[in-house]
Amino acid sequence: MNVIVLSDAPARRLHIAWQLENLGPEWRCLEAASAPQALRLLTDAPIRLLVLTPCPAAGALLHLLTEQPLLAPPYLLGDGLPAPDGPLPAFADLPGRLQEWMREGRLPSCHAQRMPEAEHLARGMLHALGVPPRLSAWRFLPEAAALTVVHPPLLDDLSHGLYPLVARRHGKTPAAVERSLRLCIESTWMRGDLASLERFFGSSVDPDKGKPTNREFLCRVQERVTFAARRLG
């Protein structure tokens, strides 16, 4: 899990980095001393968590993130610093707070900034693939695809990530979401242009089944929508 620690005090950055990396080998901490440096790190690699210490650089970075919203923003911790949805939780709350957010399906506070754009692109891409709009999955699929763009970890475990989140947002059960998506993919492969589908999905299609799994479908759509959104700026 990639984490950025932003502080203008080297000793403070190092102390937090040690605390984070002591949580386990999967934690990889990157340090930043200024807002521009932190922003470069945020755009260079997927970052799961951003830890801000009270300093001018933190305020400057929050301003930059408002002016230049990231497509896939990280979770924010910041010892009470102001953010779009209220004061940021304290660093001392980690890792319990992060586990709680993941368990409850809470998204990073800045995710909504690029959601309309991602959903618009996803809707157009699904139309181009020939996904039948009459199917029940169409009511949630563009939004579900957009959610995976602004928060890719939702794809890590569909049963405990994306499906429950979409189910809560649309008054369904996770099983109903999974089933509707599977039927949607089957119908698309039965009625769509197979040549176009094969060009779009390539080697991600299971040669024995002739169609992608739910996860393969969502991952491919997420990749294409992410590419389109970043190309558009």
Domains, in order of start, for the chain: 2-111 (3.40.50.2300), 115-232 (1.10.10.10)
Select the more confidently predicted residue: 91 or 198: 91
The yes-or-no verdict on residue 49 having pLDDT over 90 is yes
Select the more confidently predicted residue: 99 or 25: 25
The yes-or-no verdict on residue 32 having pLDDT over 60 is yes
Per-residue pLDDT tens over the stretch 183-218 = 999 998 887 667 777 777 765 555 555 688 999 999
Tokens of 118: 């991602």
Rg of the chain over all Cα atoms, to the nearest angstrom: 19
- C-alpha 15/C-alpha 143 separation (Å) is 40
- C-alpha 20/C-alpha 26 separation (Å) is 10
- C-alpha 22/C-alpha 63 separation (Å) is 31
Tokens of 202: 């390539």
pTM value surpassing 0.85: yes
**CA 172 to each of CA 102, 105, 180, 233: distance values in angstroms, whole numbers, following the listed order:** 20, 15, 10, 34
